Amino acid sequence: MYNQIVKLIIIGFVVGLATVTIGFANGGGFTVEELKEGGQQYINTAVAPSDQSFVPTAPTGKVADKDMTLVKETSKDSSQVEVYSFKEGEGEQKVK
Amino acid sequence: MKKDFTRLIASILFYSFLGLGLFALVNCGGGGGGGGGSAPTTGSLTINNGSQAQVAGVYISPTSTSSWGPNQLSNPIASGGSATIGSLPPNRYDARAIHLGVYSFYYAYLMNFPISAGSTYTGTIIDSSFTGTIRIINNSSWATLIAIYISPASASSWGANQLSSSIAHGTYRDIVDIPAGSYSVKGVWQDGGTTISDGIVVASMTRKDLTGNY
Protein backbone atom coordinates (compact mmCIF):
# COMPACT_ATOMS: atom_id res chain seq x y z
CA MET A 1 0.00 0.00 0.00
CA TYR A 2 2.80 2.35 0.95
CA ASN A 3 4.72 1.45 -2.24
CA GLN A 4 1.66 2.16 -4.39
CA ILE A 5 1.28 5.61 -2.86
CA VAL A 6 4.96 6.36 -3.54
CA LYS A 7 4.54 5.17 -7.16
CA LEU A 8 1.51 7.40 -7.66
CA ILE A 9 3.39 10.38 -6.25
CA ILE A 10 6.35 9.72 -8.57
CA ILE A 11 4.08 9.29 -11.63
CA GLY A 12 2.23 12.48 -10.73
CA PHE A 13 5.50 14.34 -10.39
CA VAL A 14 6.78 13.10 -13.78
CA VAL A 15 3.52 13.98 -15.57
CA GLY A 16 3.47 17.43 -13.97
CA LEU A 17 7.07 18.07 -14.88
CA ALA A 18 6.43 17.03 -18.49
CA THR A 19 3.41 19.36 -18.72
CA VAL A 20 5.40 22.29 -17.40
CA THR A 21 8.27 21.52 -19.79
CA ILE A 22 5.96 21.38 -22.84
CA GLY A 23 4.27 24.56 -21.73
CA PHE A 24 7.62 26.29 -21.44
CA ALA A 25 8.89 25.00 -24.77
CA ASN A 26 5.85 26.32 -26.62
CA GLY A 27 5.70 30.02 -26.04
CA GLY A 28 1.99 30.57 -26.41
CA GLY A 29 1.02 33.29 -28.84
CA PHE A 30 2.53 36.50 -30.15
CA THR A 31 1.53 39.83 -28.71
CA VAL A 32 0.07 41.94 -31.50
CA GLU A 33 0.14 45.64 -32.34
CA GLU A 34 -1.21 47.31 -35.49
CA LEU A 35 0.36 50.37 -37.11
CA LYS A 36 -1.79 51.82 -39.88
CA GLU A 37 -0.40 54.40 -42.30
CA GLY A 38 -2.22 57.72 -41.98
CA GLY A 39 -4.07 56.57 -38.89
CA GLN A 40 -7.59 55.52 -39.78
CA GLN A 41 -8.00 57.93 -42.70
CA TYR A 42 -6.72 55.48 -45.31
CA ILE A 43 -9.92 53.54 -45.62
CA ASN A 44 -11.10 54.05 -49.16
CA THR A 45 -14.44 52.47 -49.81
CA ALA A 46 -15.67 55.15 -52.21
CA VAL A 47 -14.28 53.38 -55.25
CA ALA A 48 -15.00 49.69 -55.58
CA PRO A 49 -12.19 47.63 -57.11
CA SER A 50 -12.73 46.86 -60.77
CA ASP A 51 -10.87 45.02 -63.52
CA GLN A 52 -8.78 48.13 -63.97
CA SER A 53 -7.96 48.65 -60.32
CA PHE A 54 -4.59 47.83 -58.86
CA VAL A 55 -4.97 45.16 -56.20
CA PRO A 56 -2.82 43.55 -53.53
CA THR A 57 -2.02 40.12 -54.86
CA ALA A 58 -0.23 36.95 -53.98
CA PRO A 59 3.47 36.78 -54.87
CA THR A 60 3.87 37.05 -58.63
CA GLY A 61 7.11 35.16 -58.92
CA LYS A 62 8.71 38.13 -60.61
CA VAL A 63 11.89 39.48 -59.10
CA ALA A 64 12.84 43.10 -58.67
CA ASP A 65 16.09 44.65 -59.73
CA LYS A 66 18.80 43.97 -57.20
CA ASP A 67 19.00 47.63 -56.28
CA MET A 68 16.00 49.90 -56.57
CA THR A 69 16.29 53.55 -55.71
CA LEU A 70 13.10 55.43 -54.95
CA VAL A 71 12.35 58.96 -53.89
CA LYS A 72 9.78 59.78 -51.23
CA GLU A 73 8.58 63.36 -50.99
CA THR A 74 8.25 64.35 -47.38
CA SER A 75 6.69 67.75 -47.98
CA LYS A 76 3.76 68.71 -50.17
CA ASP A 77 5.76 71.19 -52.24
CA SER A 78 8.35 68.51 -53.03
CA SER A 79 11.08 70.61 -51.43
CA GLN A 80 12.05 67.79 -49.09
CA VAL A 81 12.68 64.29 -50.31
CA GLU A 82 14.11 61.10 -48.90
CA VAL A 83 15.91 58.61 -51.09
CA TYR A 84 15.58 54.92 -50.33
CA SER A 85 17.52 52.04 -51.75
CA PHE A 86 15.95 48.60 -51.85
CA LYS A 87 17.66 45.28 -52.08
CA GLU A 88 15.60 42.28 -53.01
CA GLY A 89 14.68 40.35 -49.89
CA GLU A 90 16.40 42.77 -47.55
CA GLY A 91 13.83 45.53 -47.31
CA GLU A 92 14.46 49.22 -47.45
CA GLN A 93 17.49 51.20 -46.39
CA LYS A 94 17.36 54.96 -46.16
CA VAL A 95 20.37 56.36 -47.99
CA LYS A 96 19.83 60.10 -47.90
CA MET B 1 -9.65 81.74 -131.57
CA LYS B 2 -12.29 79.81 -129.67
CA LYS B 3 -10.19 76.68 -129.95
CA ASP B 4 -7.17 78.44 -128.44
CA PHE B 5 -9.30 79.70 -125.56
CA THR B 6 -10.63 76.21 -124.85
CA ARG B 7 -7.11 74.80 -124.98
CA LEU B 8 -5.95 77.46 -122.50
CA ILE B 9 -8.74 76.66 -120.07
CA ALA B 10 -8.01 72.94 -120.34
CA SER B 11 -4.32 73.54 -119.65
CA ILE B 12 -5.09 75.68 -116.62
CA LEU B 13 -7.43 73.02 -115.22
CA PHE B 14 -4.92 70.23 -115.90
CA TYR B 15 -2.02 71.95 -114.17
CA SER B 16 -4.25 73.06 -111.30
CA PHE B 17 -5.34 69.47 -110.60
CA LEU B 18 -1.75 68.29 -111.00
CA GLY B 19 -0.57 70.88 -108.48
CA LEU B 20 -3.33 70.03 -106.03
CA GLY B 21 -2.49 66.34 -106.32
CA LEU B 22 1.18 66.92 -105.61
CA PHE B 23 0.31 69.16 -102.66
CA ALA B 24 -1.95 66.54 -101.18
CA LEU B 25 0.65 63.81 -101.70
CA VAL B 26 3.39 65.78 -99.96
CA ASN B 27 1.20 66.76 -97.01
CA CYS B 28 -0.14 63.27 -96.47
CA GLY B 29 3.34 61.82 -96.30
CA GLY B 30 2.87 59.53 -99.22
CA GLY B 31 -0.69 58.40 -98.81
CA GLY B 32 -1.32 57.89 -95.08
CA GLY B 33 -4.64 58.07 -93.42
CA GLY B 34 -4.85 61.84 -93.32
CA GLY B 35 -3.38 62.06 -89.83
CA GLY B 36 -0.14 63.63 -90.91
CA GLY B 37 2.08 60.67 -89.83
CA SER B 38 2.53 56.93 -89.89
CA ALA B 39 0.24 54.66 -87.89
CA PRO B 40 1.20 54.34 -84.18
CA THR B 41 3.09 51.21 -83.22
CA THR B 42 3.00 51.58 -79.42
CA GLY B 43 0.46 52.19 -76.68
CA SER B 44 0.54 53.61 -73.19
CA LEU B 45 -0.59 53.08 -69.61
CA THR B 46 -2.14 55.85 -67.55
CA ILE B 47 -2.13 55.37 -63.79
CA ASN B 48 -4.62 57.37 -61.75
CA ASN B 49 -3.69 57.60 -58.10
CA GLY B 50 -7.07 57.64 -56.39
CA SER B 51 -5.54 56.65 -53.06
CA GLN B 52 -4.44 58.96 -50.30
CA ALA B 53 -0.92 57.62 -50.53
CA GLN B 54 1.93 58.83 -52.68
CA VAL B 55 3.15 56.36 -55.29
CA ALA B 56 6.94 56.44 -55.33
CA GLY B 57 7.59 54.00 -58.15
CA VAL B 58 5.93 52.00 -60.93
CA TYR B 59 7.39 48.93 -62.58
CA ILE B 60 6.05 47.51 -65.83
CA SER B 61 7.14 44.42 -67.69
CA PRO B 62 5.55 42.00 -70.16
CA THR B 63 3.56 39.26 -68.42
CA SER B 64 5.84 36.63 -69.95
CA THR B 65 9.04 38.00 -68.38
CA SER B 66 10.44 37.11 -64.97
CA SER B 67 11.67 40.48 -63.72
CA TRP B 68 10.14 43.90 -63.16
CA GLY B 69 12.86 46.07 -64.63
CA PRO B 70 13.57 49.66 -63.60
CA ASN B 71 11.28 52.23 -62.04
CA GLN B 72 9.32 53.99 -64.81
CA LEU B 73 8.53 57.16 -62.88
CA SER B 74 10.74 60.23 -62.96
CA ASN B 75 8.65 61.80 -60.18
CA PRO B 76 6.32 60.30 -57.57
CA ILE B 77 2.57 60.36 -58.25
CA ALA B 78 0.86 62.44 -55.58
CA SER B 79 -2.54 61.55 -54.16
CA GLY B 80 -5.11 62.51 -56.78
CA GLY B 81 -2.49 62.76 -59.51
CA SER B 82 -1.76 60.62 -62.53
CA ALA B 83 1.10 59.58 -64.77
CA THR B 84 1.27 58.13 -68.28
CA ILE B 85 3.93 55.68 -69.34
CA GLY B 86 4.18 55.50 -73.12
CA SER B 87 6.13 53.74 -75.86
CA LEU B 88 4.91 50.30 -74.81
CA PRO B 89 4.92 47.80 -77.68
CA PRO B 90 1.60 45.91 -78.01
CA ASN B 91 1.60 43.03 -75.54
CA ARG B 92 0.12 41.91 -72.22
CA TYR B 93 1.79 43.51 -69.23
CA ASP B 94 2.04 43.41 -65.43
CA ALA B 95 2.46 46.57 -63.39
CA ARG B 96 3.56 47.09 -59.80
CA ALA B 97 3.27 50.33 -57.84
CA ILE B 98 5.05 50.99 -54.56
CA HIS B 99 4.17 53.29 -51.67
CA LEU B 100 6.83 54.19 -49.14
CA GLY B 101 4.98 54.57 -45.89
CA VAL B 102 6.09 55.62 -42.45
CA TYR B 103 6.05 52.09 -41.05
CA SER B 104 6.90 50.02 -44.12
CA PHE B 105 6.52 49.92 -47.89
CA TYR B 106 3.56 48.45 -49.73
CA TYR B 107 2.89 47.16 -53.23
CA ALA B 108 -0.14 47.31 -55.55
CA TYR B 109 -0.47 45.20 -58.66
CA LEU B 110 -2.24 45.32 -62.02
CA MET B 111 -1.67 42.00 -63.71
CA ASN B 112 -2.04 40.76 -67.28
CA PHE B 113 -3.55 43.87 -68.86
CA PRO B 114 -3.45 44.52 -72.62
CA ILE B 115 -1.65 47.32 -74.42
CA SER B 116 -2.53 47.87 -78.06
CA ALA B 117 -1.05 50.25 -80.60
CA GLY B 118 -2.41 53.75 -80.51
CA SER B 119 -4.48 53.28 -77.36
CA THR B 120 -4.11 54.03 -73.67
CA TYR B 121 -5.01 51.59 -70.91
CA THR B 122 -6.00 53.16 -67.61
CA GLY B 123 -5.43 51.61 -64.19
CA THR B 124 -6.58 53.11 -60.90
CA ILE B 125 -4.92 52.83 -57.52
CA ILE B 126 -7.07 53.09 -54.40
CA ASP B 127 -6.22 52.78 -50.72
CA SER B 128 -7.16 49.12 -50.58
CA SER B 129 -4.93 48.35 -53.58
CA PHE B 130 -1.87 47.96 -51.40
CA THR B 131 -0.43 45.02 -49.50
CA GLY B 132 0.46 44.98 -45.81
CA THR B 133 3.47 44.00 -43.71
CA ILE B 134 4.08 41.71 -40.75
CA ARG B 135 6.99 42.59 -38.46
CA ILE B 136 8.27 39.72 -36.34
CA ILE B 137 9.96 41.00 -33.18
CA ASN B 138 12.11 38.55 -31.26
CA ASN B 139 11.78 39.75 -27.68
CA SER B 140 13.46 36.73 -26.17
CA SER B 141 16.53 37.34 -24.05
CA TRP B 142 18.32 34.27 -25.35
CA ALA B 143 16.54 32.35 -28.11
CA THR B 144 16.80 32.73 -31.88
CA LEU B 145 13.79 32.41 -34.15
CA ILE B 146 14.83 30.01 -36.85
CA ALA B 147 11.64 29.87 -38.91
CA ILE B 148 8.44 31.83 -39.48
CA TYR B 149 5.42 30.44 -41.25
CA ILE B 150 2.57 32.67 -42.43
CA SER B 151 -0.45 30.87 -43.78
CA PRO B 152 -3.91 32.14 -44.79
CA ALA B 153 -6.47 31.24 -42.15
CA SER B 154 -8.32 29.10 -44.67
CA ALA B 155 -5.24 27.07 -45.67
CA SER B 156 -4.64 23.58 -44.35
CA SER B 157 -0.84 23.69 -44.36
CA TRP B 158 1.83 26.12 -43.19
CA GLY B 159 3.67 26.40 -46.48
CA ALA B 160 7.28 27.51 -46.79
CA ASN B 161 9.49 29.13 -44.17
CA GLN B 162 9.42 32.89 -44.80
CA LEU B 163 12.88 33.56 -43.39
CA SER B 164 16.04 33.55 -45.47
CA SER B 165 18.03 33.77 -42.22
CA SER B 166 17.28 33.48 -38.51
CA ILE B 167 16.06 36.34 -36.32
CA ALA B 168 18.45 36.79 -33.40
CA HIS B 169 17.06 37.73 -29.98
CA GLY B 170 16.52 41.44 -29.58
CA THR B 171 16.07 42.02 -33.34
CA TYR B 172 13.18 42.02 -35.81
CA ARG B 173 12.40 41.17 -39.41
CA ASP B 174 9.79 42.68 -41.76
CA ILE B 175 7.90 40.36 -44.07
CA VAL B 176 6.40 42.60 -46.74
CA ASP B 177 4.00 42.21 -49.67
CA ILE B 178 1.27 40.36 -47.80
CA PRO B 179 -2.22 40.65 -49.35
CA ALA B 180 -4.93 41.84 -46.99
CA GLY B 181 -6.54 38.94 -45.14
CA SER B 182 -6.55 36.79 -42.02
CA TYR B 183 -3.50 34.66 -41.29
CA SER B 184 -2.06 32.16 -38.87
CA VAL B 185 1.55 32.78 -37.87
CA LYS B 186 3.96 30.23 -36.39
CA GLY B 187 7.43 30.95 -35.06
CA VAL B 188 9.91 28.16 -34.43
CA TRP B 189 12.62 28.74 -31.82
CA GLN B 190 16.11 27.34 -31.81
CA ASP B 191 15.23 24.62 -29.30
CA GLY B 192 12.22 23.47 -31.28
CA GLY B 193 9.63 25.35 -29.26
CA THR B 194 6.90 27.15 -31.13
CA THR B 195 4.82 30.32 -30.80
CA ILE B 196 1.56 30.33 -32.71
CA SER B 197 -1.12 32.95 -33.22
CA ASP B 198 -4.29 32.60 -35.28
CA GLY B 199 -6.55 35.30 -36.65
CA ILE B 200 -3.81 37.83 -37.45
CA VAL B 201 -5.60 40.32 -39.70
CA VAL B 202 -3.40 42.18 -42.19
CA ALA B 203 -4.89 45.26 -43.87
CA SER B 204 -3.70 47.41 -46.77
CA MET B 205 -0.96 49.89 -45.85
CA THR B 206 -0.75 48.46 -42.36
CA ARG B 207 2.13 46.95 -40.44
CA LYS B 208 1.25 44.31 -37.91
CA ASP B 209 3.88 43.88 -35.19
CA LEU B 210 4.06 40.41 -33.65
CA THR B 211 6.25 40.15 -30.58
CA GLY B 212 7.50 36.74 -29.52
CA ASN B 213 8.40 36.40 -25.85
CA TYR B 214 10.20 33.16 -25.10
Nearest residue on chain A to B205, alpha-carbon basis: A37
Question: What is the three-state SS of chain B?
Answer: CHHHHHHHHHHHHHHHHHHHHHHHHHHCCCCCCCCCCCCCCCEEEEEEECCCCCECEEEEEECCCCECCCCCCCCCECCCCEEEEEEECCEEEEEEEEEECCCCEEEEEEEEEEECCCCEEEEEECHHHCCEEEEEEECCCCCCEEEEEEEECCCCCCCCCCCCCCECCCCEEEEEEECCEEEEEEEEECCCCEEEEEEEEECCCEEEEEEECC
Contact call for B51 and A42, based on CB within 8 A: yes
Contact call for A56 and B192, based on CB within 8 A: no
Nearest residue on chain B to A39, alpha-carbon basis: B206
Contact call for B113 and A52, based on CB within 8 A: yes
My answer on whether B195 and B121 are in the same domain is: no
- Residues in chain B with CB shorter than 8 Å from the CB of A87 are none
Nearest residue on chain B to A23, alpha-carbon basis: B193
Q: Which domain holds residue B99?
A: 43-129
- Please tell me whether residue A27 adopts helix, strand or coil conformation: coil
What pLDDT does residue A82 have?
Answer: 65
**Which residues, at least 6 apart from B72, have a Cβ–Cβ distance to it below 8 Å?**
B57, B58, B59, B60, B85
My answer on whether B78 and B100 are in the same domain is: yes
My answer on whether B75 and B28 are in the same domain is: no
My answer on whether B167 and B200 are in the same domain is: yes
What pLDDT does residue A56 have?
Answer: 79
Contact call for B124 and A53, based on CB within 8 A: yes
Picking from B64, B127, B150 by the largest number of A CB atoms within 10 A of its own CB, the best residue to mutate is B127
pLDDT in tens, chain A (96 residues): 567 766 766 666 555 545 444 444 456 899 999 999 876 555 554 455 565 788 877 666 666 655 556 666 555 555 566 666 655 544 444 443
From residue B55, give the alpha-carbon distance in Å to each of A30, A61, B74, B78, B167. 32, 22, 11, 7, 30
My answer on whether B52 and B124 are in the same domain is: yes
Using the Cα atoms of residue B59, residue A83, residue B81 and residue B86 in order, give the sign of their dihedral.
negative
- Residues in chain B with CB shorter than 8 Å from the CB of A80 are none
Picking from A21, A22, A26, A30 by the largest number of B CB atoms within 10 A of its own CB, the best residue to mutate is A30
My answer on whether B118 and B71 are in the same domain is: yes
What pLDDT does residue B40 have?
Answer: 93
Among the three residues B67, B94, B129, which one is the final residue of a domain in this structure? B129
Picking from A34, A36, A43, A54 by the largest number of B CB atoms within 10 A of its own CB, the best residue to mutate is A54
My answer on whether B6 and B23 are in the same domain is: yes
What pLDDT does residue A90 have?
Answer: 46
> Residue B77 belongs to a domain with what CATH number?
2.60.40.1120
- Residues in chain B with CB shorter than 8 Å from the CB of A68 are 57, 70-71
My answer on whether B125 and B155 are in the same domain is: no
Contact call for B98 and A49, based on CB within 8 A: no
B20-62: pLDDT as tens digits: 444 444 444 443 344 457 899 999 999 999 998 999 999 999 9
Shortest distance between the Cα of B39 and any Cα of chain A, in A, equals 26
My answer on whether B89 and B162 are in the same domain is: no
What value of ipTM does the predicted structure carry? Answer: 0.73
Number of domains in chain B: 3
My answer on whether B138 and B178 are in the same domain is: yes
Contact call for B54 and A72, based on CB within 8 A: yes
Contact call for A57 and B111, based on CB within 8 A: yes
B53-74: pLDDT as tens digits: 999 999 999 999 988 888 999 9
Interatomic CA distance for residues B101 and B205, integer angstroms: 8
Among the three residues B129, B154, B174, which one is the final residue of a domain in this structure? B129
My answer on whether B83 and B54 are in the same domain is: yes
Contact call for A37 and B70, based on CB within 8 A: no
pLDDT in tens, chain B (214 residues): 455 655 655 565 456 554 444 444 444 444 334 445 789 999 999 999 999 899 999 999 999 998 888 899 999 999 999 999 999 999 999 999 999 998 998 999 999 999 999 999 999 999 889 999 999 999 999 999 999 999 998 889 998 899 989 999 999 999 988 999 999 999 999 999 999 999 999 999 999 999 999 9
